[in-house]
């Protein structure tokens, strides 16, 4: 890294020599001392840069028309960056494993989608040295992207004051709830105003199960269950990930770390899931299927409801999973911002990248060039979508390209509006981000290195037991004690003690 820093200090002035003007950011810099923000060399004279090819890994299902989109992407990147981009779309169900394998093998790639919760194990991968620190890269080659994200949010993607990921800026104030086929909700006179807790859904699920055709599934789940997206409902914050032993209660100013799996709330949750599973409300294969696997069930119309994050205009995105059917939505939480919300969707630069500077230039371009961002998000105008106004589109059915993952690519506030999305959806989202309550742990990042063996062992235990427990597929009376015993043997208490130690040290520095 010392060699890389020397190289950067030499190359940044060279980049400026092509005719750029240094500017200063109006926001706090990601490092201790204020540094001038440089502009991207490619913006002034891309032909002065040697041609390169960049590889970008994205957690997106295979799209049959990706080659056509990639060809158009490369027209833009060649012109503006003198770079070609190989887009590798990896199915969400296998992304996490493939990325970890590539990292372990030291395979070459430049940029990857990564997350603290749904793909890539961001903080764990940082601890393993998988990604490059990008403070200097950001200020030199992505100043506009850096300035577009609130300063405090960068703390959530930093370890030891070094930034390792660029947030795909979007909704960070999370609240979760249930999406239900509106036709079914109306049919049985569902009254959301009377619903205050999850158990209030029981009578509706019972009606669906007894009255709809045999193939109907009242509550669709995949193997991750709904626990990770209902921690706020149960009164918990998150440290590292929902499956990592040790977190704090939302109303605890002392920030005392507790084991969420031994808390009565967890037992309450798995018992409720078991009850729903036994009554036939949850799909029988839930413990074995991935996120992408349940899409066919939802699209068929047999999947009646599912638990999912809620945001302004979000039902328009989710309805595509339900075969473009109208949905009724009920939130069971209040908006809340955590570090894990911010680190839930990022782009990181691999330590194996041979062109990290150009990779950061690409991240800057995707986040600032609306044409490129929307091309990646929605494909080709006239083929994959048609424009109905300057900022609104209608996707073409079965066109071969509709990733439905604009949130995983870049700044979503640059996205075209989809049918049904309100004109002010992005303005309302920004307002929601600003008014939501913030975690008392905002900016705290757990360094797992002192307990890395225990973290790995505990995750292996979680992977063994949680899919079945969280979907109700097994009896908690039998398997929850086994889970807790194995978790303790794996080192859960040491992890919790280390989290408490680091939180105490963090609090002392504030």
Same structural domain, 42 and 124: yes
The answer on pLDDT for 40 being more than 50 is no
Which CATH number does the domain housing residue 121 bear? 3.40.190.10
CA angle centred on 243, ends 239 and 249, rounded to 5°: 45
CB burial string 87-123: b at 16+ within 10 A, e below: bebbebbebbebbbebbeeeeebbbbbbbbbbbbbbb
Last residue within a domain, chosen from 394, 416, 438: 438
471 and 223 Cβ atoms separated by less than 8 Å: yes
361 in a structural domain: yes
What global pTM score does this model have? Answer: 0.69
**pLDDT level of residue 236 (50, 70, 90 thresholds):** very high
- Give percent above pLDDT 70 in the chain: 91
503: part of which helix (H) or strand (E)? helix 492-509
pLDDT digits (tens, 9 = 90+) for 184-206: 999 999 999 989 999 999 999 99
Same structural domain, 48 and 135: yes
Same structural domain, 430 and 349: no
Q: d(Cα 153, Cα 171) in Å, to the nearest integer?
A: 12
Q: How much is the average pLDDT of 224-238?
A: 93
Strand order in the sheet with 166-167: 83-89, 52-58, 111-114, 346-349, 166-167
pLDDT digits (tens, 9 = 90+) for 13-34: 333 333 333 333 333 333 333 3
pLDDT digits (tens, 9 = 90+) for 245-301: 999 999 899 999 999 999 999 999 999 999 999 999 999 999 999 877 888 889 999
Of 40 and 117, more confident: 117
139 and 22 Cβ atoms separated by less than 8 Å: no
Exposed, middle or buried, 205 (CB in 10 Å: 0-12/13-18/19+)? Answer: buried
DSSP strand E in 59-199: where?
Answer: 83-89, 111-114, 158-159, 162-163, 166-167, 175-181
Same structural domain, 359 and 418: no
Same structural domain, 157 and 76: yes
Same structural domain, 64 and 99: yes
- For CA atoms 120, 98, 347, 470, give the dihedral sign: negative
The answer on pLDDT for 387 being more than 80 is yes
What's the pLDDT score for residue 23? Answer: 32
- The total of structural domains in the chain comes to 2
Q: Name the residue among 152, 470, 432 with its Cα closest to residue 286.
A: 470
Residue 141 lies in domain: 31-171+341-369
182 in a structural domain: no
DSSP strand E in 194-345: where?
Answer: 305-310, 327-331, 336-337
89 in a structural domain: yes
Q: Which residues pair with 306 in a beta bridge?
A: 179
Same structural domain, 60 and 149: yes
What's the pLDDT score for residue 294? Answer: 87
Last residue within a domain, chosen from 418, 438, 458: 438
Q: How much is the average pLDDT of 7-12?
A: 39
Same structural domain, 349 and 431: no
Q: How many CA atoms lie less than 13 Å away from 183 in the CB half-sphere?
A: 10
Q: d(Cα 429, Cα 311) in Å, to the nearest integer?
A: 7
134 in a structural domain: yes
Q: Which residues, including other chains, have CB under 8 Å from residue 66's CB and lie 6 or more apart?
A: 87, 89, 401
125 in a structural domain: yes
Q: d(Cα 189, Cα 198) in Å, to the nearest integer?
A: 17
Same structural domain, 358 and 407: no
pLDDT digits (tens, 9 = 90+) for 398-454: 999 999 999 999 999 999 999 888 899 999 998 888 888 888 998 787 888 899 999
343: part of which helix (H) or strand (E)? none
396 in a structural domain: yes
Q: d(Cα 152, Cα 64) in Å, to the nearest integer?
A: 39
324 in a structural domain: no
249 in a structural domain: no
């Amino acid at each position: 890294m010392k060699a890389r820093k020397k190289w950067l200090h030499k190359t940044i002035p060279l980049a400026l020599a092509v005719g750029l003007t240094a500017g200063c950011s109006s926001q706090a810099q990601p490092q201790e001392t204020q540094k001038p923000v440089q502009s991207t060399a490619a913006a002034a004279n891309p032909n002065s840069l040697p041609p390169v090819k960049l590889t970008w890994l994205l957690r997106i299902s295979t799209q049959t028309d990706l080659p056509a989109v990639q060809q158009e992407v490369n027209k833009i990147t060649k012109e503006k960056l003198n770079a070609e981009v190989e887009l590798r779309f990896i199915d969400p169900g296998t992304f996490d494993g493939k990325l970890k394998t590539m990292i372990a093998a030291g395979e070459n790639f430049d940029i990857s989608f990564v997350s603290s919760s749904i793909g890539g194990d961001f903080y764990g991968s940082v601890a393993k040295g998988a990604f490059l620190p990008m403070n200097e890269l950001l200020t030199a080659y992505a100043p506009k992207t850096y300035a577009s994200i609130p300063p405090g949010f960068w703390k959530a993607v930093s370890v030891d004051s070094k930034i390792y990921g660029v947030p795909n800026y979007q909704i960070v104030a999370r609240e979760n709830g249930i999406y239900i086929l509106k036709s079914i909700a109306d049919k049985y006179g569902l009254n959301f105003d009377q619903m205050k807790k999850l158990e209030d859904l029981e009578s509706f699920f019972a009606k669906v199960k007894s009255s709809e055709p045999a193939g109907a599934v009242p509550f669709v789940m995949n193997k991750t269950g709904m626990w990770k997206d209902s921690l706020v409902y149960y009164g918990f914050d998150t440290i590292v990930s929902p499956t990592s032993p040790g977190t704090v209660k939302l109303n605890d100013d002392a920030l005392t770390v507790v084991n969420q799996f031994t808390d009565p709330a967890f037992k309450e949750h798995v018992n409720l899931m078991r009850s729903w599973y036994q009554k036939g409300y949850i799909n029988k294969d839930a413990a074995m299927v991935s996120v992408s696997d349940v899409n066919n069930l939802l699209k068929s119309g047999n999947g009646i409801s599912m638990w999912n994050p809620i945001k302004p205009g979000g039902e328009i995105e989710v309805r595509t999973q339900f075969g473009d059917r109208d949905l009724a939505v009920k939130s069971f939480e209040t908006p809340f911002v955590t570090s894990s919300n911010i680190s839930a969707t990022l782009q990181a630069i691999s330590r194996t990248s041979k062109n990290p500077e150009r990779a950061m230039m690409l991240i800057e371009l995707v986040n600032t060039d609306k044409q490129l961002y929307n091309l990646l998000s929605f494909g080709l105008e006239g083929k994959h979508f048609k424009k109905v106004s300057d900022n609104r589109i209608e996707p073409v059915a079965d066109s071969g390209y509709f990733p439905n993952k604009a949130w995983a690519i870049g700044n979503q506030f640059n996205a075209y509006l989809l049918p049904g999305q309100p004109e002010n959806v992005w303005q309302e989202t920004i307002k929601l981000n600003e008014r939501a309550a913030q975690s008392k742990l905002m900016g705290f990042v757990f360094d797992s290195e002192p307990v890395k063996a225990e973290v790995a062992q505990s995750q292996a235990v979680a992977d063994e037991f949680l899919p079945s427990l969280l979907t109700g597929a097994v009896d908690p009376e039998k398997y929850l004690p086994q889970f807790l015993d194995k978790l303790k043997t794996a080192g859960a208490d040491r992890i919790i003690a280390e989290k408490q130690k680091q939180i105490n040290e963090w609090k002392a520095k504030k």
